[in-house]
Structure 1
Amino acid sequence: MFYSFCGFLLEVAFARLTHSPKPDRKCHLLLPVCPVYGVGALGILLLPGWVKGSPLLLFLGGALVCTAAEWGLSWFYEKAAGVAFWNYRRLPWNLGGRVCLLFSGFWGLLSLPLVYAVQPWLEAWAAGVPAAVTIPAALFYLGDAATSLLLLRRGGTGALRWYARPRGRKGRAAS
């Protein structure tokens, strides 16, 4: 959940820096998360120790694992919900718009601080979280994910924007 939230923050920052027409980047109804980052981070953390012990191998392994996670989740969202949260078709060296070489390189770079700095800190912090919090938090996350998937199937990504105020004519907020 932590890495999915960090991914959401990274996506919002990226959207602001690039002046994206879609500034909100969450993939769940309630929680501000992008699950692809959580899945990618878990994949990196599951790499063998000999890979994580070498910055070059970690970069390559992280890029590969995250690219696979990105492709897999893109396919899942398309098939299960009929939506696409990202599309790299305008970038060179893309594979069906689901993944591209440029972002694979970014994932490889992000693997280094994840393994060498963030995860050691997170493990120490998580050790202090009471077990009574873990199960309800996981259930809430899964409930939000299931609800979000149903809403996505019915109304596309706009269905997750409950917080957006309806607009009237000429861009004014409707009364």
Structure 2
Amino acid sequence: MPPFELAARTVYWFFVYGLLGWCAEVIFAAVKEHRLVNRGFLCGPICPIYGFGMVALLYAARALGAPGLPLSVPVVFVVGGVLTTLLELVAGWGLYRLFRIRWWDYTGIPFNLGGYICPQFSLLWGLGSVVMVKGLHPLLARLGDRIPLQALLPLDLILLLVFAVDTAASAAAAAGLDRKLKEIDELRARLRRTSDRLTELLGTGAMTADTLLDEQKLQLALARMERRDDAEALREELTTHAAALRARLREMDLDRFGARRLLRAFPRMRSLRYGETLAATREALRTLARRAREARQAARDAAKRRGRS
């Protein structure tokens, strides 16, 4: 096959297997979490790590196999497991160095390496490689190899353009996530300091995070406190910090193609700098989602009551 056509078909297979990998991730998440989640770093339906992994495996199979003699299953298992594990290691380390966030973390799994890779998943990658190379790819190749080069080139160009735009937008969202976590961390620290000072001054019990983030609960808690002139400034400061924190969380909740999507796509994400804040942010976003569902249900119930009256 001429080098130019080989490059075009390589791009094609990268997108095919990136899409199939994304489908597998979505199905796995749906079975595990009972909901649909757009898995992966990018907004579009593609997981590049699967595309790169499968392309690398196909090239390795071509380089190692003798003419007319395909690789044996054990060789495919070992080569596929090693290649994809190395790719996962490089991708995890590279994303961490770029964005200071661990997008997946195998720390709790025995014999992991830095939380980036673990032998259990390496075995799964090896099994998946056998299924793909021995089972699925020969079937897909019968169709894919029939696509004429004249049709393949414009398709590749369009997909590459969309991929480049998506990568740039997702990288900006990932960089923004770390910045938002920093802002939320600073606001939480200010809120905690002011709350502690007010609690110490008034001799009351410490207010919970749920109270501080719920505007109505906060106002009720402040109203129940003994009115003292020396506490008014702290009450106002506490209200201001709580409102700023709620605003940041609402912004993140509405960021469906940015920070919020990334948090949903990577449930094992871990920030080494803002780990506590990341966990608190996840919980706050879940609370916002629950309240939104409750509000929608209350609106539907009210509409039904009006319809019956």
Give the TM bin, normalised by the shorter chain.
0.7 to 0.9
Aligned to 1:10: 24
Q: Write the mapping of 1:94-109 to structure 2, written as runs, cut at 5 A.
A: 94-109=112-127
Aligned to 1:28: 42
Query: Relative contact order, CA 8 A, sep 6+: which one is greater?
Result: 1
- Given that 2:22 and 2:46 are in contact with CA atoms closer than 8 Å, whether structure 1 keeps it comes out as yes
- Given that 1:4 and 1:36 are in contact with CA atoms closer than 8 Å, whether structure 2 keeps it comes out as yes
Q: 1:22 to 1:70 in 2, by over 3 A?
A: farther
Correspondence for 1:134 among 137, 153, 156: 156
| Higher helix fraction (1 or 2) | 2
TM-score (norm 1): 0.83
1:151 aligns with 2:173: yes
Look up the equivalent residue of 1:146 and give its one-letter code.
A
State the shift of 1:160 in Å.
Answer: 6.3
Aligned to 1:171: 291
Provide the C-alpha distance between the structure 1 equivalents of 2:111 and 2:78, rounded to a whole number of angstroms.
17
State the shift of 1:141 in Å.
Answer: 1.1
Provide the C-alpha distance between the structure 2 equivalents of 1:18 and 1:58, rounded to a whole number of angstroms.
29
Q: Deviations over 1:70-118 (max 9, x none)?
A: 0011011111233332111111111011000010000000111211232
Q: 1:21 to 1:4 in 2, by over 3 A?
A: same
- Gaps spanning 5+ residues in structure 1: where? none
Q: 1:63 to 1:25 in 2, by over 3 A?
A: same
Q: How many residues align?
A: 173
State the shift of 1:6 in Å.
Answer: 1.5
- Given that 1:44 and 1:65 are in contact with CA atoms closer than 8 Å, whether structure 2 keeps it comes out as yes
Q: Write the mapping of 1:82-121 to structure 2, written as runs, cut at 5 A.
A: 82-121=100-139
State the shift of 1:120 in Å.
Answer: 2.4
Q: Deviations over 1:9-41 (max 9, x none)?
A: 222222233338994422112x12222111211
Provide the C-alpha distance between the structure 2 equivalents of 1:36 and 1:138, rounded to a whole number of angstroms.
15
1:68 aligns with 2:86: yes
- Gaps spanning 5+ residues in structure 2: where? 1-14, 179-256, 265-285, 297-309
TM-score (norm 2): 0.49
Provide the C-alpha distance between the structure 2 equivalents of 1:146 and 1:160, rounded to a whole number of angstroms.
17
Identity, % of aligned positions: 26
Provide the C-alpha distance between the structure 1 equivalents of 2:161 and 2:287, rounded to a whole number of angstroms.
34
State the shift of 1:45 in Å.
Answer: 1.1
Provide the C-alpha distance between the structure 2 equivalents of 1:62 and 1:81, rounded to a whole number of angstroms.
28
Aligned to 1:49: 64
